[in-house]
Structure 1
Amino acid sequence: MTVTGPRNAPDVVDVVALGESMVTFLPSRPGRLADVPSFERGIGGAESNVVCALAAAGHRVRWVGRVGADGFGDHLVEAIGAYGVDVSAVRRDPVRPTGVYFRTAGDRATDAHEVAYYRAGSAASAMAVDSVDVAAARAGRILHLSGITAALSDDCLTLLRDLTTRGTDRPLVSFDINHRAGLWRSADGPRVLLELARGADIVFVGEDEAAETWGVTGGPGPIRELLPEPSVLVVKEGARGATAFEHPPSSQSPSPHPLSQRPPSPQSLSPRPHSPQPPGPAGAFVPALDVDVVATVGAGDAFAAGFLSATLRALPLPDRLRHGHLWAAAALTTPGDLAAPPARDHADRLAALDDDAWGRLRLGPGWTQAEQRAEEEVRTP
């Protein structure tokens, strides 16, 4: 069916992401920040990472945010736009700077690293209902947000509360908890994140993150008990895998968003060769892949992007989890924050493997290009 937006609104795209993006400085060699002599410039930002990956997979996407009227802002807009992301709704702040951060070459998921953020008072921290293009943010089949934005300022929190308020004119809202304790100016972070998550349609949270943020332990089940409102709740369980819970269609209240009104795709009606055992009613668990990890940076964003891509295609819940794992594997096997996702046909073939074959998969650096190279060799006379 044709998806239309409000009159005079921007073109409706597949996914819109709203949030802060920063210029990232990556070290030229391992060592302490005090010892590293030079850095290579890159881009970083949880929300823009998601839409950059989706754009690389052929989806129509948009990034909404604010950057400074400076060279770093120019770089962010140009670099993100180069992925095929619509950046026309990004606003420039003539007073506040673009945020930047430096990090060491160590893994950010361990203690063997340093990260120095320079984002206080940034242009993105001034995002508010009247300082961003809210119409452009709502003109997507899915609007992707994260808890990072809520922590930046009171105005940012008010904006997220506005965007997650349920109503007839809002898109399907995807929310990644992304709890960053150091960003919050008060002890209200856990309560606020729970409030925002309960207003979203699709929620991503790590099992360890839920324990740290809300003190919830005991696996995905108790997390679902805490968050029964989202239509889809995805609990990432680290190297073990991921569990997703979904309200059965009969129990969902009518959604105003066209995505939920789309007819099932042929893939969703076809019998599947695999049937992961659900951890409870309307849930599914899919084990993570065996991956030769190069760096963990950006893997969570890639997982969310893969899951949302499969959601846009109305794939069954286990397949959405498998695509999330495959896209995360692409990020885990590359050194930077952003990795090209696997080609759709390639990912579909891997996602359709039976459980035994899925469990035997081992993916290393370059795996996303291996099949493409093989196909090019076949086509070469």
Structure 2
Amino acid sequence: MDVVALGESMVTFLPARPGRLADVPAFHRSIGGAESNVACTLAAAGHTTRWVSRVGADGFGDHLVEAVGAYGVDVSHVRRDPSRPTGVYFRTAGDRAGDTHEVAYYRAGSAASAMSPAGVDLDAVRAGRVLHLSGITAALSPDCLALMRELTAPRPGRPLISFDVNHRPGLWRGRYGPEVLLDLARGADIVFVGEDEAEEAWGVTGGPAAIREALPEPPVLILKKGAAGAVAFCRPSAGDRAAGAARAGADGTPRSPGCDNTPRPAATAPALKVDVVATTGAGDAFAAGFLSATLRGLPLTARLRHGHLMAAATLTTPGDLTSPPPRPLADRLAALDAPAWETLRLGPGWTDADAEAAEEAPTP
């Protein structure tokens, strides 16, 4: 298994037309979940993936398992809970960042909130080259936080831990707060965090260098700067366990990503110019693109660019999930020189390329 992803997924209801939730007469059913989004995108890109979670013994749980499995994701370790429901949520049609955007979650007491170290098959969770997690899971319940601490704790032979901070302020109400995300991130090998998240969750300001100072432990730290792009900090890992796994190509051979111990970013990649349809799921797609390129042993800058390309595929469609660009097309675009990359513009339908078109990728 290339990647195992653990976390809650919910049935998503997307409005049939724009407007307030109070005014929308009908909704279209879809699926949504940060970790399953990553698993589905990676499976669609040709990787072997598994999603581990817990859903209710209800029709919505059936739909989630079937829909995620249809992407080619292994769902054999998703457990069914006879006494707790599958989470659902409704959202308006607009951009998540808009003032009129509304989201109504119905996830309190959901089946996934009952995940715990004793309630999941830890061997199945640790069976991939990469284990992808997010901070959303830690906020669901004390049992879920205990599971996250178990999975990010140092142990011999653990998979490469990928952790997307995914700070959701509305979830952090109760006996602990988002400061626990910092502790979890410190135990991971690859960490994705936005500058805005670092400020909102931890009060860290001052840009990438200040965030790296607050998070010196992860061998690879990816800082997302929105429209300004992304930067990566990278350092060698003691014992070469984590860094060796991060450098492994498809044949498992370690390859150096050019890491060093300097406080400067090891790689940068400006964001693409994109005709945005909706932003939901773009962060998950970015993580999937970066992990895909990591599994292929590509250089660090190429990993960031593949993250941007996967995100662009999602940004130019209305739902949380979409088909990734064909690999030859993505590789061709990721290899553009700096001026061509910075002037490239992508709009709806740009991923709909057949094999011949992928070999002749559009020039900016």
Secondary structure of the residue that 2:11 maps to in structure 1? strand
Q: Is the 8 A contact 1:181 1:189 kept in 2?
A: no
Judging changes above 3 Å, is the alpha-carbon distance between structure 1 residues 220 and 371 closer, same or farther for their aligned structure 2 residues? farther
Identity %: 72
1:159 to 134, 138, 147: 147
Secondary structure of the residue that 1:59 maps to in structure 2? coil
Residue 238 of structure 2 corresponds to which residue in structure 1? 252
Residue 314 of structure 2 corresponds to which residue in structure 1? 331
Residue 299 of structure 1 corresponds to which residue in structure 2? 282
Does residue 99 of the first structure (1) align with residue 87 of the second (2)? yes
Residue 326 of structure 2 corresponds to which residue in structure 1? 343
**Residue type matched to 1:329 in 2?**
A
Backbone CA RMSD of aligned residues: 2.5
**Residue type matched to 1:306 in 2?**
G
Question: How far apart are the structure 1 equivalents of 2:247 and 2:225?
Answer: 31
**Residue type matched to 2:228 in 1?**
R
Secondary structure of the residue that 1:116 maps to in structure 2? strand
Q: TM-score, normalised by structure 2?
A: 0.93
User: Structure 2: which 5+ runs fail to align?
Assistant: none
**Residue type matched to 1:317 in 2?**
L
Q: Is the 8 A contact 2:116 2:144 kept in 1?
A: yes
1:235 to 214, 218, 223: 223
Question: How far apart are the structure 1 equivalents of 2:255 and 2:120?
Answer: 40
1:219-275 CA-to-partner distances (Å, cap 9, x unmatched) read 11100000000010000000010000010x3x63331797257479899989xxxx9
Does residue 130 of the first structure (1) align with residue 90 of the second (2)? no
Q: TM-score, normalised by structure 1?
A: 0.89
Question: How far apart are the structure 2 equivalents of 1:306 and 1:261?
Answer: 15
Residue 9 of structure 2 corresponds to which residue in structure 1? 21
Secondary structure of the residue that 1:196 maps to in structure 2? helix
Judging changes above 3 Å, is the alpha-carbon distance between structure 1 residues 191 and 42 closer, same or farther for their aligned structure 2 residues? same
Does residue 186 of the first structure (1) align with residue 174 of the second (2)? yes
1:85 to 63, 68, 73: 73
Question: How far apart are the structure 2 equivalents of 1:302 and 1:245?
Answer: 20
1:197-234 CA-to-partner distances (Å, cap 9, x unmatched) read 00000000001111111111111110000000001000
Does residue 50 of the first structure (1) align with residue 33 of the second (2)? no
Residue 8 of structure 1 corresponds to which residue in structure 2? none
Question: How far apart are the structure 1 equivalents of 2:255 and 2:156?
Answer: 29
Q: Is the 8 A contact 2:134 2:166 kept in 1?
A: yes
Question: How far apart are the structure 1 equivalents of 2:61 and 2:337?
Answer: 46
Residue 220 of structure 1 corresponds to which residue in structure 2? 208
Segments of 4+ in structure 1 off by > 4 A?
263-270
Question: How far apart are the structure 1 equivalents of 2:80 and 2:255?
Answer: 46
CA apart distance, 1:188: 3.3
Q: Is the 8 A contact 2:328 2:359 kept in 1?
A: no
**Residue type matched to 1:70 in 2?**
D
Question: How far apart are the structure 2 equivalents of 1:84 and 1:203?
Answer: 26
